Structure 1
Amino acid sequence: MHKFQLFLLVFLFSIILKAQVSSSYTISFENAVHHEANIQATFSDLKSNTIEFRMARSSPGRYAIHEFAKNVYNVKVTDSKGNILKTTRPNPYAWQVSGHDGTIQVSYTLFANHGDGTYAQVDETHAHLNMPATFMYVPELSNKDMEITFNVRDHLNWKVATQLKHLEGNTYYAENLQYFMNSPTEIANYRTRSFQVDNQTVKLVLHDDVASEKDLDTYFNHIKKVVLQQKAIFGELPTYDYGEYTFLACYMPNANGDGMEHRNSTYVVSTRSLANGGIDGNIGTVSHEFFHCWNVERIRPLALEPFNFEEANMSGELWFAEGFTSYYDDLTLCRAGIISQPNYITGLTSTFNYVWNSPGRDYFNPIEMSYQAPFVDAAKSVDETNRENTFISYYSYGSMLGLALDLSLRDKGLNLDDYMKLVWQTYGKTKTYYTIENLNETLNTYAGKDFGNHFFNNYIYKSEMPDFKHLFETVGVVLSTDPSKVDFGVSVRHGKLISNPSVNSSAYNAGLQKEDKLIKIGTTEIKEDTDLNTLLDSYKVNDKVLVVFERFGETKTTSLTLQADTSYTISLMEADKTPLVKNLKTNRENWLQTKK
């Protein structure tokens, strides 16, 4: 094609695209030093006499309510000719206006100073933009084209990184509100690395002012290993909308630690520079979020479609969408050689104990734990809760269920990787949203009806514990307890109880509660530096001990009956000086070795 013809084609396409755009934005950062952004929006092709424009209350990947409207002020509205229009407020999140001419122009100021995976942050290091926290929208125009121009601070060497479609200069495009809101944007003086996988580009955008080029290269090599190991599970990468997937890595001291998945990108955020422990400390979040480009972004629960920006979003599938993803994040690092097999195995211990020793399983099964997301997923409240006893994170619970299912399948010559691949092919690739029943049916198809129904009926619809002792033995791992040790049943710091005691624990049965200050256990005075574990080791199970404590300024006493420690230890058979027979070693290697 002749260059002039190509230019004319691009020019005409641009004109047609602009004619279709009904929501267009310009954002600038003149007062970035005080965390302000100035936003101008034009909403056209309006049909209703009274138009509502609003801020979102929830953000993709988060399930709780977040009141983004609280950081918006200086709101002004005109029609297309600049005539001022009066607004009313039907609720705290929205504005209404009438008397327009089919177009309204809205300007406002946004205060933004929380750089994580949900909120926005503007200062002279960057503009870290999560769209729901930043941009007003008109619900009436949700299915129409959108355009945004970023007026960057050129003297700060700012550049734009986003999954939005690039048009020209710093102007970008989204086909509808859902895609726009799912497109975080980092504007900073960043560095990049990229590589090609099956004719698609995987790109790292790094905003880290301390990391050296060598740090960046080392880290990106880790990322490449993660990408290829996860691709091997599913057999392919998803087809990214514009042929590119971007890690938006913001590792700055003013940021907040987080990770948030999106369709063709992810925000991975930390205060740790690559130069200060971030190479090892941040890669787990990268692994988790990249797995999401299959599991949750494309293998999508029906309950989350379409995502509702005005309400909390509840799904009973988060034990799978988040939890199985959590299982694969460290497993990927092990297979990639980033963490060793022994460290991976022993690293399971903390989460294992948290899940299987929690009283929460007496109250909710994994589905019901998933329903709790709107109350716990970066949600805020001022009143006390009893989550120590009633809640288990669906991330952790699901990761242990993923472990149980993987080892159970391997015990019969199958594996979780191939089940995930079948789920991908059945639901992700076909753009079919799934339910819990669909996951059960797919497991029945893959592993047999008896196996699939047993797993779901006992561990998903109920909250029973799988036979991990046997499952671990099949891969040369020992699961053990020490019933001679005692357990207090509550976290203590500087002599004060800092959490609610676990139900039926020693502390719980003695009537102790959060904020109690221990004065004496038996004959030993409790000081701020007293090692409580060492003290408890001097007692035996069922010993009765007098405890003196302070509550609300009053000294009290109680009798404490020490109960057995139910925590587990996970170790390699060979570490316990148990010979590792060949078939167990083979099973372990098939589980943990690099996938080709």
Structure 2
Amino acid sequence: MKRIRTKLATLMTIVTTSAFADPQIHFEVSFKEPQAHYAEIKMEISGIRKDHIDVKMPVWTPGSYLVREYSRHVENFEACDADGNPFVVEKISKNTWRIVSAKSSKVTINYRIYGFEVSVRTNFIDDTHAFLSPAATFMYVDGMINQPADVTVIPHAAWSKISTGLEPVDGQPNTYRAPDFDILFDSPIEVGNQDVFTFEAAGVLHEIAMVGGGNYNRERLKRDCAAIVEESTKIFGENPNKRYVFIVHNYQSGGGGLEHLNSTVLGASRNGYQNERTYLGFLGLVAHEYFHLWHVKRLRPIELGPFDYDAENYTTALWIMEGFTAYYDNLILRRCGFLNESTYLQALSNDFNTVENRPGNRIQPVAAASFDAWIKHYRPDENSANTSVSYYNKGALLAAMLDLKILDATGGKKRLDDVLKAAYEEFYVRKKRGFEEHEFQALTEKIAGVPVDDIFHAAHTVEPIDYNAYLNAAGYELVDYNEGRELPDLGITTSASDGRLVVTGVARNTGAWDGGINVRDELIAIDGERLDANGRELNRILQTASIGDKLRVLVARDGKLRELTVTLKKDTKGIFTIVPLPRQTPEQENLGKIWLSLR
């Protein structure tokens, strides 16, 4: 038996060596018609001698949990041998092309990609610049995701700069090396005339590439981003990068971000840097995405890597990954001194208002929201508020409660920072793998010295949470200024559209919900009173009405008039604010100072 296995292994080695003799993959990206939003991609594959080669385009990009079908933007796919003789090509699935390569030693593939979607996760190409999201740009050989690849970028004649986290190849201009396709797909590329400047923080060189202009102050950005880098690094104890790249797309009105292993792509408003509120929002985005270089890109749920680029990669733990990050982004701004105590508490209070005033919070557990991100979070509709909850906002609240619980249990000696640092060292550094949720909980309990099943149970249920049981320990309480007030509520949101007052949302279990008002209904009159498009008359009617009043609501729906009877119910929405307890014990005052301390 032993001898048979040896012969079989030898035979397999011979076959493998024959089929994959020192395979090499090289891409060349050029831009013949950027004004029409196209890039030309050449993919050269050598050293793979097989009857056929299957190449695939990812259907999604890590960090953005939606199947985006990037292959729909591929055109003119062709393949040929080293002499230019064409191969037969067959598309065998939505994102797979089969090349009948007949054991040829070299295969050259040419295709075009169209890119004209403004986002941090999709390609955008025009006559001023090109942003390449690698998962939407580069194909891989099926079964060879671990293969290294080189990328040569040939900028358009009007462009002079390339910004990317990929490592340059010595002696080869505009050429970069990825050790595998996971790294390639995690390394966006900006090509154009971006304003590039650098700073050093936590021993790491940071590059900022500002695209689209803006009224930013270079020195202030460098100083403030450096502070965020230093504070974030303190939490985990090390910064694993040698170089990090911020690619910032400045629009008339922009936002959003996507994390990568040693870079991030951010959207911003080009003229918002001189507005203090807008600027703080941008710094919060910087803090959020930078925090992800540890928390998601390295410390991660076991389901999130290695990735399957053909299908959804499900996890119930986005409430930990995105939610905890959403808690720390503002907390880091507080530690940097960008937010005072009052402003920070108001920011946290906003999460309470967002979560507790959303009917879907009593329908969908936040762990289920994590799992369903693929079909719900990125595809909201008019009923989403009634059926789902955000793993960002609710996850942030659970992180805050967990932080406060650990502080209370350890007398302020430990906190959530210590859990994250220990988890990073345990799972990423030592075990080199992702974690199971029960492992993360066990590690948390080890550090806290008390059970934390209440927090993890809350993530998997829709039961109400006694937030003050946690906040009180640090000398604070959550106050609902609507508590005890008897106010009527119709239960709709509206907007003005072409001179009409149109319903944009109907809240679950309200008068409008029970009475049959629909989204997209035009509100015309109530009890015979004509309504204006700005909603002023509607507000007047509701301000003078009482709970239990029956209103005759005239609407236009699909070109027909309908009169509905709606009974006003009590407004159940809260106005939540975190305030200090009127009387604090010394222990509470001490924990509160530790919780919100400047570092």
Shift of 1:262: 0.6
CA positional deviation for 1:436: 1.3
Contact 2:366 2:390 in 1 (8 A): no
Q: Residue 142 of structure 2 corresponds to which residue in structure 1?
A: 139
* Code of the aligned partner of 1:206: M
Residues 1:95 and 2:94 are matched in the alignment: no
CA distance in 2, matches of 1:282, 1:308: 32
Q: Which one of the candidate residues 542, 553, 572 is aligned to 1:565?
A: 572
Question: Does 2:522 match 1:520?
Answer: no
Residue 259, structure 1, aligned to residue 281, structure 2: no
CA distance in structure 2 between the aligned counterparts of 1:91 and 1:476, rounded to whole angstroms? 57
Q: Write the distance in 1 (CA, Å) between the matches of 2:433 and 2:540.
A: 55
Q: Which residue of 2 aligns with 1:170?
A: 174
Amino acid at match of 2:446: T
Q: Show the counterpart of 1:539.
A: 545
| Contact 2:515-2:564 within 8 A present in 1 as well | no
Provide the residue aligned with 1:464 in structure 2: 463
Query: Where does residue 195 of structure 2 map in the other structure?
Result: 191
In 2, Cα distance between the equivalents of 1:300 and 1:478?
31
CA deviation map 1:198-251 (0-9, x unaligned): 433233222242335xx12112222111111212222332x12xx112212222
Q: Which string of whole-angstrom CA distances, capped at 9 and with x for unpartnered residues, describes residues 74-124 of structure 1?
A: 222101221111211112322111144132101112111124221111222
User: For 2:352 and 2:540, how far apart are their aligned partners in 1?
Assistant: 23
User: How far does residue 580 in structure 1 lie from its aligned partner after superposition?
Assistant: 6.7
Q: CA deviation at 1:130?
A: 0.7
Distance in 1 separating the partners of 2:101 and 2:263: 40
Give the CA deviation at 1:422.
2.2
One-letter amino acid matched to 1:224: A
Match of 1:311, SS state, is coil
The CA deviation at 1:548 is: 3.5
Inter-partner Cα distance in structure 2 for 1:93 and 1:116: 22
Letter of the 1:249 counterpart:
V
Q: How far, CA to CA, are the matches of 2:283 and 2:300 in structure 1?
A: 24
Q: Matched residue of 1:119: which SS?
A: coil
User: 2:446 maps to what in 1?
Assistant: 445
Determine helix, strand or coil for the equivalent of 2:293. coil
Distance 1:271 1:507, change over 3 A: same
The answer as to whether partners of 2:232 and 2:332 remain within 8 angstroms in 1 is yes
Pairwise CA distance, 1:478: 4.3
Unmatched tracts of structure 1, length 5 or more: 1-18
Q: 1:536 to 1:417 in 2, by over 3 A?
A: farther
Residues 54-203 of structure 1: pairs in structure 2 closer than 5 A: 54-100=56-102, 101-156=104-159, 158-167=160-169, 168-203=172-207
CA distance in 2 between counterparts of 1:504 and 1:561 reads 11
Residue 557 of structure 2, aligned match among 551, 555, 559: 551
Q: Is contact 2:59–2:311 with CA below 8 Å preserved after alignment?
A: yes
The yes-or-no answer on 1:244 pairing with 2:243 is yes
In 2, Cα distance between equivalents of 1:317 and 1:585: 33
- Aligned partners of 1:364 and 1:434: how far apart in 2? 24
Q: For the structure 1 residues 488 and 335, does the alpha-carbon distance in structure 2 shift closer, same or farther, using more than 3 Å as the test?
A: farther
Q: How many residues are treated as equivalent by the alignment?
A: 562
* Partners of 1:23 and 1:141 within 8 A in 2: no
Distance 2:557 2:293 in 1: 50
The aligned counterpart of 1:27 is 29
In structure 1, distance between residues paired with 2:469 and 2:590: 16
Structure 2 equivalent of residue 7 of structure 1: none
Tell me what 1:15 maps to: none
Distance in 2 of aligned mates of 1:572 and 1:409: 21
- SS of equivalent residue, structure 2 residue 445: helix
Measured against aligned partners, the alpha-carbon deviations of 1:448-492 in whole angstroms (never above 9, x if no partner) come to 35x3223222x1232323212343343334412323233332212
Q: How does 1:318-397 map to 2 (within 5 A)?
A: 318-379=318-379, 386-397=383-394
Cα distance in 2, alignment partners of residues 588 and 424 from structure 1: 26
Q: TM-score, normalised by structure 2?
A: 0.87
| Alignment CA distance shift 1:235-1:307 (3 Å) | same
- Alignment partners' CA distance in 2, 1:70 and 1:196: 40
How far the C-alpha of 1:20 sits from its partner, in A, is 5.3
Q: CA 1:232–1:536 in 2, change beyond 3 Å: closer, same or farther? A: farther
1:425-444 matches, within 5 Å, as 425-430=425-430, 431-444=432-445
SS at match of 1:108: strand
Amino acid paired to 1:176? D
Q: CA deviation at 1:582?
A: 6.1
The residue type paired with residue 572 of structure 1 is V
> Where in structure 2 are the equivalents of 1:270-309 lying within 5 Å?
270-273=268-271, 275=273, 277=275, 279-309=279-309
**Residue 515 of structure 1, CA deviation:** 1.9
1:36 aligns to 2:38 (yes or no):
yes
Give me the whole-angstrom Cα distance separating, in 2, the residues matched to 1:46 and 1:377: 41
**Taking every aligned residue pair, what percent have the same amino acid on both sides?**
25
Alignment pair present for 1:49 and 2:51: yes
Query: The residue matched to 1:140 in structure 2 has which SS?
Result: coil
- How far did residue 543 of structure 1 move? 4.0
Partners of 1:114 and 1:256 within 8 A in 2: no
1:221 and 2:223 aligned = yes
User: Which amino acid in structure 1 is aligned with residue 506 of structure 2?
Assistant: P
User: In the alignment, residue 545 of structure 2 is paired with which amino acid?
Assistant: Y
Deviation at 1:42, TM superposition (A): 0.3
Give me the whole-angstrom Cα distance separating, in 1, the residues matched to 2:502 and 2:567: 15
C-alpha contact (below 8 Å) 2:495/2:504 kept by paired residues: no
Gapped regions of structure 2 (runs ≥ 5): 1-20
